[in-house]
Amino acid sequence: MYEQFSHSLLNEILDKLKPEIRKQDLHHFYTRLGANFYSLFLIFEQLYGQRDDFNEHLLYLVETMARQYIKRPRNLRRSDLAREKDFNWFLDQKWVGMTLYADGFADNLKGVQAKLAYLQELGVNLVHIMPILKCPKGASDGGYAVSDFRKINDKIGTLENVKNLAKEMKQREMLLTLDVVVNHVSDEHEWAQKARSGDPRYQDYFYCFENRKIPDMFEQTLPEIFPDQAPGNFTWDETMHKWVMTVFNTYQWDLNYSNPAVFIEMLDVLLFWANQGVDILRLDAVAFLWKKIGSTSQNEYEAHKLLQLFKDCCQITAPGVVFIAEAIVAPVEIVKYFGEDAINAKECEIAYNATLMALLWDAVATKNAKLLTQGIKNLPDKLERATWLNYIRCHDDIGLGFTNEDIAQAGYEPRSHREFIINYFAGKFENSSARGLLFAHNKKNNDARISGTLTSLIGLEKALEENDPEKIDIIIQHILLLHSIIFSFGGIPLIYYGDELGTINDYSYIEDISKANDSRWAHRPRIDWEQAMRRKQPGTVEYKIFNALKKMIAIRKKVSEFSDFNNRKLLEISNPQLLAYVRFNIKTRKSVLVVGNFDAHPQYLNLFELETQGFQTGEHIRDLYSGNTPTLFKDQLVLPPYRFYWLAGN
């Protein structure tokens, strides 16, 4: 009944398409539209079916997709067809990513293009460039307060620079990832300005209220994202004489997705960037897309429906493009952004493995893998055609996003353990070499998040100050251990720019009034390319880290067991200082044992424990990274401090 109705409605829509659309070659578009329309229609009806103008908006939605398909360059249409045929292309172990700020990495987009050879030297073939869209010079939230979705920040470059970069990256078989902020806009955006001028159409693009009655109802259950710098979730706009919802910062106006015009506008933006040659779109703040009184307005059912709708529409117009869900939420919630009750991802194909990141930092502080193993054990399975972004650190702060239940099961008291982790990375303990900075510190409950580069948090900054070669080398081994996990865990490893060179905290942000109150700028460095040249000088820190990661990446790309097809088995072992799991190839039945020692002292792994869990050892076992046979003693595998092995069995 409903399928018949939706198809008859589709026929009506196609008949109403404007002549300039109908006369175009839309063969593949029509095929995909027909295949996806029933799902698209059901979701659109769930969200907007109660509106009198439902059919009008549905027609406009199809027209928007058709217009962007017509604009899609022929080379991208060919890429779409190839990726539809090889639909698991992004699950391959060959992909290794780096996330970077264009200005911090190489001044601008032209500079990034000039440094593609450097990235390829390391082995990186997926590049996520942090926000580059036009935003206000002052209140920009690091580029996440967008004032024009189709223009580039003047300091970063031009739209033509993006096209040139995308073109060369395709020639080099590299993937380009860019951000689109889907939850909010800058108060300087055209839509916000029209709303301020009194235009009711654009006031309906946001959550605007004449008095505090409804905002106060929202505030009863809405958490505060930035309690210190932007308390509350509503801001009084003096020009408009209304309260507007601003969940993040006062200058970031939340979009009202209960209005279908907003959804179609943002879809048009996503497809615009897909047509510029972007391979992966990172959708920022997706957990916040739907607002409800009486809830936290995060992870709502309708937010997931919006993402499904974005995905359905993108599969019709630009099916070669995949989505990253920027949802830093609890483990049980994060997998929902792949899509529930499905085999293949029906929302976003890629999601940040924020839980693994937080667990790795816990292991750094505790010098054991108890909570790390426990957290991985309870990490929900992903869908088959979906994958993780595994990372050690990113542009943002580090939050302790593991559950109290996991902490307790690992043998710790949750509150005191969280305080220990925060204090450890703030360098408040005598035996802590960390040079971390607190972010969003809540003095009421002593909760906080953590800023700082990988190298400063792990102790390299202090070791360099002390000029202690032995300590420097052991910390470099610690850095490599963390990378060995994200490279082998299953998913796309994402290196944060500067980590490959051992870049330490940049404290100059304190002197900039627009950044001084945001400690996250300490780990958003400007690359010193003279320092980077030391990667070619044996004996330097830069040489040791860069070339070790280069080697690790090259080996990863050759190991088919590291592709991501839910082919990981966590091992139960008796030594709590060690993490161990097996990656296996479903077709060849070959396997690789990944084992890491998170302790500052040598540790041992009983080989019998491995054999009872299916990993067979023998005379020919070897470490894929070093190429050597690992050290064995009395049927035990010996792991030096912070050592990892990628062991291939018989």
Of residues 103, 141, 254, 326, which has the active-site annotation? 326
Concatenated DSSP letters for 169-215?
HHHTT-EEEEEEE-SEEETTSHHHHHHHTT-HHHHTTB-EESSSHHH
pLDDT at 2 over 60: no
Q: Is 160 a catalytic residue?
A: no
The two beta strands, 492-496 and 97-100, are parallel
Q: Report the distance separating Cα 449 and Cα 439, nearest Å.
A: 5
Summarize pLDDT for 277-313 with one digit per residue, the tens. 999 999 999 999 999 999 999 999 999 999 999 999 9
**Beta-bridge partners for 100:** 129
* Torsion 488-562-90-551 (CA) sign: positive
Q: Report the distance separating Cα 549 and Cα 541, nearest Å.
A: 12
Do 36 and 6 form a contact (C-beta atoms < 8 A)?
no
pLDDT at 1 over 50: no
Q: Report the distance separating Cα 37 and Cα 62, nearest Å.
A: 10
95: its two tokens: 């992909």
Q: pLDDT band for position 607 (50/70/90)?
A: confident
324: its two tokens: 């990253």
For 596, phi then psi, to 5°, come to: -135, 140
483: nearest Cα among 604, 323, 566, 364: 364
Residue 499 neighbours by CB distance under 10 Å: 23
User: Which percentage of the chain shows pLDDT scores above 90?
Assistant: 86
Q: Report the distance separating Cα 321 and Cα 270, nearest Å.
A: 10
Q: Is 572 a catalytic residue?
A: no
Chain centre to alpha carbon of residue 83: 22
Q: pLDDT band for position 344 (50/70/90)?
A: confident
Q: Which of 51-65, 134-148, 184-198, 359-373 has the lowest mean pLDDT?
A: 134-148
Concatenated DSSP letters for 555-622?
HHHH-GGGS-SS-EEE---S-TTEEEEEEE-TTT--EEEEEEE-SSS-EEEEHHHHHTTT----TT-E
Q: pLDDT band for position 634 (50/70/90)?
A: confident
Q: Is 25 helix (H, G, I), strand (E, B) or coil?
A: coil
pLDDT at 29 over 80: yes
Chain centre to alpha carbon of residue 418: 24
This prediction has a pTM of 0.96
Of residues 284, 312, 397, 406, which has the active-site annotation? 284
Residue 309 neighbours by CB distance under 10 Å: 24
Summarize pLDDT for 551-580 with one digit per residue, the tens. 999 999 999 999 999 999 999 999 999 999
What does the pLDDT read at residue 510?
Answer: 94
Per-residue DSSP letter, 107? S
What does the pLDDT read at residue 340?
Answer: 83
pLDDT at 329 over 90: no
User: Which percentage of the chain shows pLDDT scores above 70?
Assistant: 99
* Torsion 104-106-111-117 (CA) sign: negative
